[in-house]
Structure 1
Amino acid sequence: MRPVLRLVRRFCRFEVDLWVSLARAITRKPDIAGGTPIRYAGAMSAILWAFVVVSAVEIPAVHLIIPWAPVRMAALALGIWGLLWMLGLLAAHHVYPHVLAPDYLRVRYLRRTELAVPLSALRAVRPDMRGYDESKSLHRTANGTIALPVGSSTNIRLELAAPHTFSTPQGDLTSSTIAFWADDPHTAIGAIKAAIVKQHSEA
């Protein structure tokens, strides 16, 4: 029974996250307070937009095909919910980017997965393209790396001077290596390195 309840709670939280994300997108209030966004939505936007277009086409098509009014209304309601769900998922990829702040880097995926990496703890930042077999948004790899892939891939690797413990939806995870995806890894790496240099010069 408990696994079922956990699954229901997870689904409800995700549903709330999508509606909050859609509201942020409509009101143009991305969650980037205190820093510079590093986008990762590009890897998924085309796929999500394709689903949105298909869902939008299906709604009137199904409405015309089904002859029974009660079934037609149920299908219409389900179709509209599905369309809004996809729009919310698309919005979540845009309104919760990674954020580079003066003292730390917020490595994120959607609303609830976030690793606050202190810039003072970073030893190296480098490009590193890697693919992952599973579609999970948060991985703990065999070598101990914490990875937040987008589209089953990461392209930036952070190396910390010492292991650091992060609070995640999967519980506390400790690692000295973080991998994530950025749409423009070259620019992102340059910005992170510049932030590290600036922090050291002000220390």
Structure 2
Amino acid sequence: MSTATSARAEASVWQRIGWFLKRALLMELSIYASIGRFVARRPAIGPGARGFGFHRPVMTILMIFIVLSAVEIPIFDLIVHRWPAVRITLLVLGIWGLTWMFGLLCSYLMRPHTVGPDGIRVRAGLETDIALSWDDIASVARGLRVDESKSPKIVETDASRTLMLRVNNETDLEIELERPTIVRLPGHGAAGGEQAVTAVRIWVDDPVAFMDEVRKYI
């Protein structure tokens, strides 16, 4: 392998590490921002828009993880209280993990999908936040779809390229776009960065109310 090739490979490794660290930092900040919004009772909903949750399918499991995270802190503290260094380390990690799980729950509650005068805003996880204007949207329709676990995020056919923002492998609304539209997704590679899609499928806890709100604009 030539020196130039080795240098490029090393630069690529450091670039990937940099992307990973930046993404981890942004996710961490998003966690604390969501907790702040929860405390202030200020969900991320634009002026004149209405929010629609998508947390119902994962609420139970999130609550279980939060309770388990809270319970394990005093249990581990009791077990390792004779070793201060280990005790402090596990205490810090336990509190951080509990905070992270609570922040993840807050992100679901405080970052809903929205429908408003400017269009539809769809969200997923801590990072995905896609604004679709009414000029971009051709139609919105209900339709339950259940995919297998680890199905691709972008599903391609001869005539379409659909972004799947699943919750527990399910979606119940399809937003068809007027034309291939560029959306920015977290990460890099085949399913990250800027992607051109012709439709977006999402999960909404109350699709009937969502459709009622959409009909006010299209």
**Interval containing the TM-score (normalised by the shorter chain):** 0.7 to 0.9
In structure 1, give the amino acid aligned to 2:62: L
SS of 2:167's equivalent? coil
Counterpart selection for 2:182 from 160, 165, 188: 165
CA contact (8 A) 1:135 1:151 kept: no
Q: Partners of 2:52 and 2:150 in 1: how far apart? A: 21
CA contact (8 A) 1:103 1:120 kept: no
Match of 2:208 in 1: 186
Question: So what's the TM-score if we normalise by structure 1?
Answer: 0.88
Alignment of 1:11-160 (within 5 A): 11-34=24-47, 35-66=49-80, 67-134=82-149, 139-143=153-157, 144-160=161-177
- What is the Cα deviation at residue 96 of structure 1? 0.7
- What is the Cα deviation at residue 182 of structure 1? 0.3
Q: CA RMSD in A?
A: 1.9
**Which moved further from structure 2: 125-134 or 170-179?**
125-134
Q: Kindly, what percent of the aligned residue pairs are identical?
A: 30
Judging changes above 3 Å, is the alpha-carbon distance between structure 1 residues 63 and 89 closer, same or farther for their aligned structure 2 residues? same
- What is the Cα deviation at residue 135 of structure 1? 5.3
CA contact (8 A) 1:56 1:83 kept: yes
Unaligned runs of 5+ in 2: 1-12, 187-191
Moved beyond 3 Å, runs of 4+:
132-136
> Who wins on radius of gyration, i.e. which is larger?
2
Q: Partners of 1:102 and 1:195 in 2: how far apart? A: 7
Unaligned runs of 5+ in 1: 197-203
Question: So what's the TM-score if we normalise by structure 2?
Answer: 0.82
